[in-house]
Amino acid sequence: MNEFPTQLFINGELKNSSTGKRLTLVDPATETVFTDVAAASVNDLNNAIAGAHQAFLKGWRDLPPGKRSEILFNVARRLRENCERLAQLECHNIGKPISDARDEVMLGARVFEFYAGAITKFYGQTIPVARGGFDFTLRQPMGVVAAIVPWNFPFPIACWKAAPALAAGNCVVLKPASQSPLTAILLGQLAHEAGLPAGVLQVLTGSGGEIGDALVQHPRVRKISFTGSTAVGARLMELAARDLKRVSSELGGKSPNIVFADADWQRAAAESPMSVFANTGQDCCARSRMFIERTIFDNFVELFIATTKKLKVGEPSKAETQIGPLVSASQRDVAEQFIHEAKAAGRKIAAGGNRPSPKGFYLEPTVLLEVEPHDRVWREEVFGPLVCLRPFDDEAAMIDEVNDSPYGLSGSIWTNNLRRALRVSRLVESGVLSINSHSSVHVEAPFGGYKQSGIGRDLGMNAMEGYTELKNVYVAE
């Protein structure tokens, strides 16, 4: 693999941490040490925020929209040119299959293109107020935005937080997860090479536990945009609430996949395994709770399992691999604990359940049957390659069961009955739903959750609005 940066990216330069501290990264496919990376201190954090604040005041917020747009289009082009470099890094860093890693880099580039185009179409309103005169609104940037991202989709999530925030005129301090910092550093460097002024996008690698509180509580940070676990998200909101900082968060999920007997259920059975096993199940939108109408249940399960067994689990660097290792030994331990508990409770492991290889943090795609609604594996997010299938008889009772969850992020409904599709999609408590599909993410459309799956929305024009304050101006006649 080519050389890649492993330092902090502050004010347009790669820098070592002020303490010299570094974090070791392990390749999840081989369990060998792969590289190490600078771990930012609170001192580095303060420098990065000060630099971002200066970059905001000294020009980024006031740059003509057309110029900001041009720079972000250049960033997108630079990302496309470096697709292979970025994809290889992600593949080695977190064990992501190389074909998925390439798709995710392209998704990141498309996100920059979308917001580069959006800048010149982002309007306020004129409002006919009762007093007469002239009233209009302005969407204004906030200042310094802290973007904190997880390890499961490091590159696209970094892009879909940074791009709308930058497009709206903010400066961004990006904190990638400790396990997946490499593409974020390269993003900062490539964006700078593409014309993003120094300080506008700062990248701080290091431990959230060590610099997280200082980042969230820093007086110059005006908004926190977080993706990660519900527990950390809730804690960040508590800290941010002390200064009434703006927060948006995309958190955990336990997404339903509902298949009615009137659907093209053979297609649903063939496509649904990848709706939960893609990214080795480490996906907040993973359809890990399946509700199958009882009249088709046995046939559906048979086809679902046959398709699951054909999935290609293997080395992430191979083009044909669909399922790589989990990100770490501890993540695999968590998933295996769910399997042990299910076995101990007498649940049926209908496929998988074992480690397919002695090396690497692999776990077979695992299908559980005969689980009960109170089982932990049915209720809690696993973030591993596990799915539970249960039959249902009655639509209304099934919807109650779907909504009996603290989460509400994503989900699928399979039916060929249009009225049912519309009825059920209105009733399911979820920020994102797809009918006869398992897609969750569209660059152009809002993405985020109900209930404990988060607050606010990423992507689409909603995300850009979320990185602005709304000002109303009245002009007397």
Helix (H, G, I), strand (E, B) or coil at 335: helix
What separation in angstroms does the CA of 224 have from each of 173, 205, 221? 10, 16, 7
Give one DSSP letter per residue of 262-302, joined into a string.
TS-HHHHHHHHHHHHHGGGG--TT---EEEEEGGGHHHHHH
Shortest distance, position 132 Cβ to ligand NAP, whole Å? 46
Structure tokens at 115: 């917001």
Nearer to ligand NAP, 101 or 398 (CB): 101
Cα–Cα distance, 26 to 327 (Å, whole number): 9
- CA neighbor of 37 nearest in space, from 213, 175, 148: 175
- Neighbouring CB atoms inside 10 A of 424's CB total 22
Shortest distance, position 370 Cβ to ligand NAP, whole Å? 26
Residues 6+ apart with CB under 8 A from 298: none
Among 250, 336, 364, 381, which one carries the catalytic annotation?
A: 250
Nearer to ligand NAP, 12 or 253 (CB): 253
Among 91, 284, 285, 388, which one carries the catalytic annotation?
A: 284
Contact call for residues 353 and 299 (beta carbons, < 8 A):
no
Shortest distance, position 403 Cβ to ligand NAP, whole Å? 18
413 - beta bridge partners? 258, 435
| Start-end of H helices in 82-134 | 83-94, 98-118
Nearer to ligand NAP, 212 or 466 (CB): 212
Cα–Cα distance, 357 to 306 (Å, whole number): 21
Task: Name the site residues for ligand NAP (rule: CB under 6 A).
Answer: 148-153, 175, 177-179, 207-209, 212, 227-229, 232, 236, 250-253, 284, 381, 383, 409, 449, 453-454
Nearer to ligand NAP, 111 or 305 (CB): 111
Shortest distance, position 19 Cβ to ligand NAP, whole Å? 16
Shortest distance, position 471 Cβ to ligand NAP, whole Å? 29
Nearer to ligand NAP, 49 or 148 (CB): 148
Nearer to ligand NAP, 303 or 464 (CB): 464
What separation in angstroms does the CA of 116 have from each of 67, 162, 224, 236? 10, 12, 22, 29
- CA neighbor of 152 nearest in space, from 383, 382, 445: 383
**Identity of the amino acid at 376:** R
Nearer to ligand NAP, 237 or 270 (CB): 237
What letter would DSSP give residue 184? H
What letter would DSSP give residue 323? B
Cα–Cα distance, 64 to 465 (Å, whole number): 18
Structure tokens at 80: 């496309």
Nearer to ligand NAP, 190 or 251 (CB): 251
Shortest distance, position 408 Cβ to ligand NAP, whole Å? 11
Shortest distance, position 265 Cβ to ligand NAP, whole Å? 28
Which residue in the shown chain puts its C-beta closest to ligand NAP? Answer: 212
Shortest distance, position 234 Cβ to ligand NAP, whole Å? 10
Residues 6+ apart with CB under 8 A from 273: 304, 307, 308, 311, 365, 387
Catalytic-residue membership of 250: yes
Residues 6+ apart with CB under 8 A from 391: 292, 293, 294, 297
Give one DSSP letter per residue of 187-224, joined into a string.
HHHHHHHTTPPTTSEEE--S-HHHHHHHHHH-TTEEEE
Shortest distance, position 160 Cβ to ligand NAP, whole Å? 9
Nearer to ligand NAP, 140 or 207 (CB): 207
Structure tokens at 97: 């299959």
Cα–Cα distance, 139 to 117 (Å, whole number): 16
Catalytic residue list: 250, 284
